[in-house]
Amino acid sequence: MVWKILWLSVLAFAFADCSHTRTVSAASRPRVLVLATGGTIAGSAPSPSDITGYRAGVIGVDALLSAVPGIESMADVKGEQLCNIDSKDMTDEIWRRLAARVREIFAKDEADGVVVTHGTDTMEETAFFLGLTVKPQKPVVLTGAMLPATAKNADGPRNLLDAVRVAASPEAAGKGVLVVMHGEIHAAREVTKIHTTRLDAFASPSSDPLGRVEADGVRFEREPRPSALSPFPPEAPLPRVDILYGHAGDDGALAEAALRTGAKGIVYAGMGNGSIPEQAEAALAQAAASGTVIVRASRSNAGAVVPAASSYMAEGFIDGGALQPQKARILLRLALARTANAKEIQQIFNADASASL
Ligand code: SIN
């Protein structure tokens, strides 16, 4: 009898322990929602050796997730298809939908982290837009691939697994929108695509990556610079802003053309510290005098555009800080939806924390 009671207590303890373990692991398992938007990561080519002649944005999110062995051991992962495009064709309408969906996911507590699969060509722009409009406190991670999903050594599955690991990691919270590619973690404001075809195509040229994804875990090596900006409403209609690429001999004709298209702002990707050839400067000064906001950025890949020639200040041009022209354009569009005052827009650029990089 004593033996039977002892045996029953051992069994009861064993079952109680098992169910306890299951409950704890189910409750503590991070939930990651993967929002798929297309890109090469969802690209398909006629043959596995074909790595350039493919169509981006073809394969659906379920197939992307099922090509990643072990993803389920990292998190409770669910997929959702937001669109399926080549990211060169990204639109304001998709940006708005994406920002609204990410906000909704966190507001309704649908996930602990979000991964956005995206084409690499405009990934940095979407990441920056999401950072400015959502300013998430929970992890939001963009990833993609340089080789199509059908390629023999496709890099998409590894990047997706890394991105899920980062999105599931508590240390990624509060670091803003992140880009995870080729084992590196970058801040949305700092990252850019620096190579046309290599697998390690992304870098943060004015700094280092924020961290890395290694075999034994996610490692952050530094904090991103905090932004003092409050989130911009993603639904506001965004005015037209054109980017002009500076070059020797620029006579200002394209600045005049930009005004004819109705641009409310121009980002001038100047030489070095945002220098502008004389004739182009004269055309831009005229545009500024008639209310178009001019931001000086740089065609150099790294470093900040800081106050320079006194004429630029007198003409009311804005220093774009360390933002690459394509990101300065996004911030200028969002800022113009708030104010047309150049001084206030300069404060917005300063508050984005990019000016001092
Ligand atoms: C794209 O940006 O959609 C195509 C290129 C890529 O994803 O690498």
Centroid of ligand 1 to alpha carbon of 123 (angstroms)? 8
Q: Which of 175, 97, 87 is nearest to 125 (CA)?
A: 87
**Gap between the Cα atoms of 60 and 83, Å rounded:** 9
Ligand 1 and 120: CB distance under 6 A: yes
Name the residue at shortest CA distance from atom 1 of ligand 1.
119
Ligand 1 and 39: CB distance under 6 A: yes
User: For position 233, what pLDDT does the model report?
Assistant: 94
User: For position 106, what pLDDT does the model report?
Assistant: 98
Number of residues assigned to the chain: 357
**Gap between the Cα atoms of 343 and 214, Å rounded:** 44
Query: At CB < 8 A and 24+ separation, what contacts does 23-28 make?
Result: none
Q: Letter for the amino acid at 247?
A: H
Centroid of ligand 1 to alpha carbon of 39 (angstroms)? 4
CATH of 241-356, picked from 3.40.50.460, 3.40.50.300, 3.30.230.10, 3.40.50.40, is 3.40.50.40
Q: Are 181 and 201 in contact (CB under 8 A)?
A: yes
To 10 degrees, what angle do helices 278-289 and 253-260 make?
20
**Gap between the Cα atoms of 65 and 45, Å rounded:** 19
DSSP of 37-65: EESGGG-B-SSTT-SSS-BSS-S-HHHHH
User: For position 27, what pLDDT does the model report?
Assistant: 56
Element (H, E) at 97: helix 92-107
Whole-angstrom Cα Rg for the chain: 24
User: For position 354, what pLDDT does the model report?
Assistant: 57
User: For position 240, what pLDDT does the model report?
Assistant: 98
Centroid of ligand 1 to alpha carbon of 87 (angstroms)? 6
For the chain, 357 residues long, give each residue's pLDDT as a single digit of tens. 434 433 333 333 333 333 332 233 445 799 999 999 999 999 999 888 888 888 999 999 999 999 999 999 999 999 999 999 999 999 999 999 999 999 999 999 999 999 999 999 999 999 999 999 999 999 999 999 999 999 999 999 999 999 999 999 999 999 999 999 999 999 999 999 999 999 999 999 999 999 999 999 999 999 998 889 999 998 889 999 999 999 999 999 999 999 999 999 999 999 999 999 999 999 999 999 999 999 999 999 999 998 887 899 999 999 999 999 999 999 999 999 999 999 999 999 999 975 444
Centroid of ligand 1 to alpha carbon of 42 (angstroms)? 9
Do the bridges between strand 202-203 and strand 192-193 make them parallel or antiparallel, or are there none, so unpaired?
Answer: antiparallel
Q: Are 214 and 183 in contact (CB under 8 A)?
A: yes
Reduced 3-state DSSP string for 119-174: CCCCHHHHHHHHHHHHCCCCCEEEECCCCCCCCCCCCHHHHHHHHHHHHCCHHHCC
Choose the residue to mutate in 83, 89, 90, 120 for probing ligand 1, maximizing ligand atoms within 8 Å of C-beta: 120
pTM, two decimal places:
0.91
**Gap between the Cα atoms of 294 and 181, Å rounded:** 33
Choose the residue to mutate in 58, 59, 82, 87 for probing ligand 1, maximizing ligand atoms within 8 Å of C-beta: 87
Ligand 1 and 86: CB distance under 6 A: yes
Q: Integer distance in angstroms from the first to the last C-alpha of the chain?
A: 77
Q: 3-state DSSP call for residue 231? A: coil
- Give the residue numbers annotated as catalytic, written as ranges: 40
Same fold, 2-220 and 241-356: yes
Do the bridges between strand 31-38 and strand 113-117 make them parallel or antiparallel, or are there none, so unpaired?
Answer: parallel
Ligand 1 and 40: CB distance under 6 A: yes
Centroid of ligand 1 to alpha carbon of 40 (angstroms)? 5
In words, the CATH class of domain 2-220 is alpha beta
Domain ranges of the chain: 2-220, 241-356
Residue 71 has what DSSP assignment? G
Q: Which two tokens stand for residue 320?
A: 């774009």
